[in-house]
């Protein structure tokens, strides 16, 4: 497994070794020892799987209490995956990193607790799977607007009119509106 830092060092890009032949392939997606050697000390308590159609944008989601670390991957299709640093004492507070994850490249992304997370489906459909370090708690879940001008995430979107958003994501707060609450909890 190759684990490298992104432009935000705590967010890690993971590229598993894939062993394939005419029968198919095998790859290891989690190895506690290997991940600990890369400073990923995670205990996972919940696995999630979502399927979304092209142009679905989910995020930017986070929890003010019980922040979740996420090990994310795509098993069918492709997404552009984004993590935003919400840790007020971090030198990268308010910065984002994005990576393409797909069934072809088999890449995974480690998004530590204290980050907002979102993704845009760039293929016809995508199956997105992720392991979480804490349980989902709807009462603590928050969203930051995907198109927040302070964050300036480059989603590589050609037409915003084609995006498919939940009501929660359509009505998400700006980063500036969320900042006070974030600083109170993180």
Catalytic site includes residue 61 = yes
**How is the chain split into domains, by residue range?**
42-185
Which of the residues 62, 130, 136, 186 is marked catalytic?
130
DSSP-derived pairing of the beta strands 57-63 and 115-121: antiparallel
- The H or E element containing residue 132 is strand 125-132
Q: Name residue 110's beta-bridge partners.
A: 12, 71
Reduced to 3 states (helix: H, G, I; strand: E, B; else coil), residue 29 is coil
Q: Which pLDDT belongs to residue 127?
A: 98
DSSP string, 55-102: TBEEEEEEESSSPPPEEEEEEESEEEEEEEE--TTSTTTT-EEEEEEE
Task: Tell the CATH superfamily of the 42-185 domain.
Answer: Jelly Rolls (2.60.120.10)
Looking from the CA of 6 toward its CB, the CA atoms found within 13 Å total 25
Q: Is 49 a catalytic residue?
A: no
Q: Of 49, 61, 117, 186, which residue is the catalytic one?
A: 61
* Cβ-proximal residues to 105 (8 Å cutoff; 6+ apart), any chain: 15
Cα 16 to chain centroid, rounded: 18
Q: What is the pLDDT along the chain (186 residues), one digit of tens a residue?
A: 999 999 999 999 999 999 999 999 999 999 999 999 999 999 999 999 999 999 999 999 999 999 999 999 999 999 999 999 999 999 999 999 999 999 999 999 999 999 999 999 999 999 999 999 999 999 999 999 999 999 999 998 878 899 999 999 999 999 999 999 999 988
Bond from prior residue into 3 cis (ω within 30 degrees of 0):
no
């Amino acid at each position: 497994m190759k684990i490298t830092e992104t432009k935000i060092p705590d967010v890690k890009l993971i590229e598993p070794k894939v062993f394939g032949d005419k029968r198919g392939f095998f790859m290891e997606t989690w190895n506690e020892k290997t991940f600990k050697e890369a400073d990923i000390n995670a205990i996972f308590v919940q696995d999630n799987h979502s399927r979304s159609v092209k142009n679905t944008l989910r995020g930017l989601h986070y929890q003010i209490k019980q922040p979740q670390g996420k090990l994310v991957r795509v098993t069918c299709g492709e997404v552009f995956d984004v993590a935003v640093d919400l840790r007020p004492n971090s030198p990268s507070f308010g910065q984002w990193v994005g990576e393409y994850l797909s069934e072809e490249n088999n890449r995974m992304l480690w998004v530590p607790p204290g980050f907002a997370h979102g993704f845009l489906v760039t293929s016809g459909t995508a199956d997105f799977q992720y392991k979480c370090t804490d349980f989902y708690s709807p009462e603590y879940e928050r969203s930051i607007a995907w198109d927040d001008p302070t964050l300036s995430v480059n989603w590589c979107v050609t037409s915003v009119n084609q995006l498919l958003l939940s009501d929660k994501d359509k009505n998400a707060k700006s980063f500036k509106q969320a900042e006070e609450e974030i600083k109170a909890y993180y």
